[in-house]
Chain A
């Protein structure tokens, strides 16, 4: 079984849950920007939760099926069309040999996940099928999919009509609130700057991608004066190189915060004021350019509670879909 790519969309790539274990060598975990949506798409089809799917950002691809199978699309809201007929998101639906799957204009969110019964069966690289484009690793030759590509599909399990009750999804917010745990270098900026960071509205910059989400609109940060240590650059936002965690927020020059995401580097010479908590990282993967966000200060206890709550929500959905 295979699927032919007729049109690739903007930057559609094969993603699974990523390749943990190599970050210390500079190879990011990668994988889906919205891990929750990828898991849900796979659950709908009875796939392994971490099976490889297509992640399409802002624009959907156009795909032709070479055999009968089942498909589920989750994540952003984008009209789903099978031979031009509408299909629902967060729902497993059958497709027949020769049918074409395409998409309308993006309505809400940023990334859709297209799962196929059996999952995409490209070779594993360092334990994952995820595409890391900058490192030319994983996926199809380490690049986004292109017109004329053929996607090999694995052997499906038992598939039936399944639908996710949307009441089980995390409710959407406006403005989006991203919870932040201040970090090691928090004290590099003045108290007034610390307060402004959380008080002001920030807007997603159009440069935001799988490496990082850049925000603008807030005031430039004021640094606590110091003599730059040996080995650090001369800009007050420079440090002697440090490690970057998934979700950490670097602010080059103290102007535009960048939240490091799935394909980010593992370290560098800009200070990081803190990190977006893991429970909110999927939300970032669904932010369109020019969306307003607020950063909200939390402590470790709140961050861990939020992580537990997210796990609970996922388990509720898992129970609902596996007993259905």
Chain B
């Protein structure tokens, strides 16, 4: 019996051996399959390190597909009740102190979210890599003890925030472990490192990520996914402007 399990495990591992006639597009599809769900709910913590202090910002987030996103900040007290709604290419912020809903557009999209290394533009990115980028495999390496493909992604459209990306995809789990995001000029703008990946509801999902804005001083922003549920039923009104003022 034990021998049969061992054989099965061996066969499965042979099936996912690196570089075995898998195309770049197939890899991205598998990554998307891990990352994108029909719907999702998560609680997250963002630890923002600035020159002056470190702050932890907690939020509850809901998503529907890759174009609808709703987030409510629960901590610290100053930011509690701040809500963010993304519907396709529009983004609104609700501030409970002023009772105002402001649409974030233009240059404001490049501003930092809560002082983090992430911009609103980063939040606006649609989830699917295959829709935004063409990809090619550059090489195979070992990153943080994991066998990875290094892939170079080139944006298919001009309106994609980062025109080039270099990503390290875990060959076994099809999760991106490290990314470099470049401007059209080739300047490195951001790096993203996933240092913890968990198996959640049959998907491999990064739960501890470090975002670093390479144009800023500082230690970057740690992003923790404390809990996440996939493909759950979320009331449609969650993704409406009316929800912001509730």
Say if A and B assemble together.
Answer: no
Which A residues are closer than 8 A to B by beta carbons?
none
